[in-house]
Each structure stands twice: as C-alpha cells, then as structure tokens.
Chains A and B, each alone.
Chain A
Amino acid sequence: DQQVKQNSPSLSVQEGRISILNCDYTNSMFDYFLWYKKYPAEGPTFLISISSIKDKNEDGRFTVFLNKSAKHLSLHIVPSQPGDSAVYFCAARARRGDRGSTLGRLYFGRGTQLTVWP
C-alpha cells in the first residue's frame, strides 16, 4: 500500500525554466515532509523539508508547497539547471507520539527522474 505517491516517473525541463515535481500522500498522520535528491550510485541527499504547520518553505532555488486539505505537496525549482538532473524522492514522516507512530521512519514515493536540458 503506497502511502506516498509520485505519479510522474519522469520530467524533462529546459534550463532556466521552472521544474515542478508533485507528490501525493494518503496518511493523515504524516506531519513532516521531505524531498531527497539522488544521483546514480549515491545515497539520497536531503534537499528541503516542510512541517505540516506550514504551507510553504523556501531555500534558494527550491520551494516546497504543502496543501494539507488535498494531501499534496510540490517541489519547485527555479531556475532549473543541468546539475539538477537526478531522481527526486518525496518522503513523509508520521506524527510523533500518536498510537501507531514510528520513531523517524520515512515513507518514500517511487521518485521522479528530472532531466534539465540546455
């Protein structure tokens, strides 16, 4: 049962344009969301996160938007650069202390391969 879903396996964007990666989740116990970037033969690298008490978090070229009512988040990269080409994973973490919550376990989507071309 996939609790975090990334429905686009790939995205191709021209350099300088905006990249928008989408993620949906089903579990209302999730209270913290993260985006990871992964290059081949490397582990996932943390990119940006957002708490469920916020609807936007910005870090340089990267902005994450959270729509709790729709259980949807998105990662915007502006402007996109060829070095951004990688697989992007959306991940979610369950609320601490609630029945059935887990101490730091992350639930991942299947990733979106972003290709930024010159």
Chain B
Amino acid sequence: AAGVIQSPRHLIKEKRETATLKCYPIPRHDTVYWYQQGPGQDPQFLISFYEKMQSDKGSIPDRFSAQQFSDYHSELNMSSLELGDSALYFCASSPMGGWYGYTFGSGTRLTVV
C-alpha cells in the first residue's frame, strides 16, 4: 500500500540558508500535518492543511511557511535557518479532515551547521 512520502530523507544546511521539505500524502488523503521532533523531544505540531487551506497552526516560527498544492502534496519552507532548527520533520496525512486516523511519513532529518 502507498505510504506518505517525504523528501529528502536527510538534509544538511548552513545557518541562514533556506530549506524546502516535501510531503506526498497517501492518495485520496485530503489533510496533511507537519510535526517537528527535536532530539529527545516529543513531536510538536507545526501546521496542517485541509483541502489545500491551512486548517490549524501550532508552534511554527514566522521564518517557516507551508502550503498544500492542488495535487495535495505539501511543502514546508524554512528560511534563515538556525542551529535550533535541526530536528526530524514528520509529515502525516489522513482522510476526511483528520478525524479518521493518521499515517506518518519516515521523516526528513534536517541538520543545520
């Protein structure tokens, strides 16, 4: 069965650079969520999209932005990267607005040096 695809799996960037993380949800899933997990931390909700509109916003820095495209894939854009942005970034998708189960991707490990 198709899963949630995230790319790239690993990314190394320098401080003040920009990064773009991509997420391809399971077909027919209309909701996408982004989470950030720092070392030894719990996954923290960043932002979600339902039917290409932002549906909820969590602890996402102003330096970050995201969108969901017409094919339902989503991109998380991160600018002016800081060392503290180094983390595992998970995307998850679900059908029907998010109330019937979540499937996570394998994550993108971002390292800022």
Nearest Cβ distance between residue A29 and chain B, in whole angstroms?
Answer: 14
Pair B55/A103 contact, Cβ less than 8 Å: yes
Nearest Cβ distance between residue B87 and chain A, in whole angstroms?
Answer: 14
B residues 72-113 touching A (CB-CB < 8 Å) = 90, 92, 94, 97-99, 101-107
Given A107-B45, A108-B43, A43 contacting B106 (CB threshold 8 A): yes
In the complex, B42 has a CB within 8 A of chain A: yes
B residues 7-48 touching A (CB-CB < 8 Å) = 31, 33, 35, 40-45, 48
In the complex, B4 has a CB within 8 A of chain A: yes
Pair A106/B102 contact, Cβ less than 8 Å: yes
The listed residue (A4, A43, A103) touching B56 by CB distance below 8 A is A103
Closest to B58 in A: A105
Pair B45/A106 contact, Cβ less than 8 Å: yes
The secondary structure that dominates the A interface is: loop
In the complex, A45 has a CB within 8 A of chain B: yes
Closest to A103 in B: B55
Number of interface residues of A (CB under 8 A): 22
Number of interface residues of B (CB under 8 A): 29
A residues 60-113 touching B (CB-CB < 8 Å) = 89, 96, 102-111
Which residues of B sit under 8 angstroms from A36, Cβ to Cβ?
A: 104
Which residues of A sit under 8 angstroms from B94, Cβ to Cβ?
A: 104
Q: How distant is the Cα of A4 from the Cα of B90 in the complex, in angstroms?
A: 19
Given A109-B42, A110-B40, A103 contacting B90 (CB threshold 8 A): no
Pair A111/B97 contact, Cβ less than 8 Å: no
A residues 23-37 touching B (CB-CB < 8 Å) = 34, 36
The listed residue (A2, A96, A104, A109) touching B31 by CB distance below 8 A is A104
Given A43-B4, A104-B31, A104-B102, A89 contacting B43 (CB threshold 8 A): yes
Nearest Cβ distance between residue A3 and chain B, in whole angstroms?
Answer: 10
The listed residue (B31, B97, B99, B104) touching A43 by CB distance below 8 A is B104
Which residues of A sit under 8 angstroms from B4, Cβ to Cβ?
A: 43
Which residues of B sit under 8 angstroms from A43, Cβ to Cβ?
A: 4, 6, 90, 92, 104-107
Q: A residues engaging B (CB < 8 A)?
A: 2, 4, 34, 36, 41-46, 89, 96, 102-111
3 nearest CB pairs, A to B:
A104-B98, A43-B104, A108-B42
